[in-house]
């Protein structure tokens, strides 16, 4: 799994969110995130007016993509974590990013570390 493949899947996720197509948006999520969809959706500044992939970089165990989502009254940056699942880049974790780049809250799968579970 390379960064370009993750960028394409992250952009497809952004495009689906922007279109309001949650069925298509959840296709990018792991089964663990789908099972806990409420906290993930609660992070989104709906309705969206803009959604883009800000950056993509390899990490030790997968790939990190930062999404920039703009709503009518709020703007957020989400750190998404991606791993290969059956040959397909799949989002396995998502966290809000603070202005300083630190993760504020996490909805994560597979026992990945959480930065601050108090905001769940």
Tell me the per-residue pLDDT of 42-78, one tens digit each, with 9 for 90 and over. 999 999 999 999 999 999 889 999 999 999 999 999 9
Percent of the residues in the chain that have a pLDDT greater than 70, as a whole number: 82
Q: Look at residue 108 in the predicted model and tell me its pLDDT.
A: 54
Indicate if the pLDDT at residue 105 is higher than 90: no
What six digits make up the tokens of 94? 């998502």
Q: Taking the domain 3-119, which CATH number applies?
A: 3.10.450
The ranges assigned to domains in the chain are 3-119
Instruction: Specify the higher pLDDT residue, 30 or 103.
Output: 30
Stated as kind and residue range, the H or E segment containing 8 is helix 3-19
Mean pLDDT of 5-23: 97
Which sign does the torsion angle of CA 9, 67, 1, 8 carry? positive
Q: What pTM value is reported for the model?
A: 0.84
Q: Do 65 and 52 touch, CB atoms closer than 8 A? A: no
Percent of the residues in the chain that have a pLDDT greater than 90, as a whole number: 78
């Amino acid at each position: 799994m390379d960064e370009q493949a993750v960028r394409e899947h992250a952009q497809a996720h952004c495009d689906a969110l922007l279109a309001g197509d949650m069925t298509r948006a959840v296709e990018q999520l792991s089964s663990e995130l789908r099972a806990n969809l409420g906290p993930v959706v609660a992070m989104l500044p709906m309705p969206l007016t803009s959604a883009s992939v800000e950056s993509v970089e390899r990490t030790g165990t997968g790939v990190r993509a930062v999404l920039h989502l703009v709503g009518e009254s709020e703007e957020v940056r989400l750190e998404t974590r991606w791993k290969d699942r059956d040959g397909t880049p799949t989002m396995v974790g998502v966290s809000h990013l603070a202005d300083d780049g630190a993760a504020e809250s996490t909805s994560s799968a597979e026992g990945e570390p959480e930065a601050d579970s108090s905001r769940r």
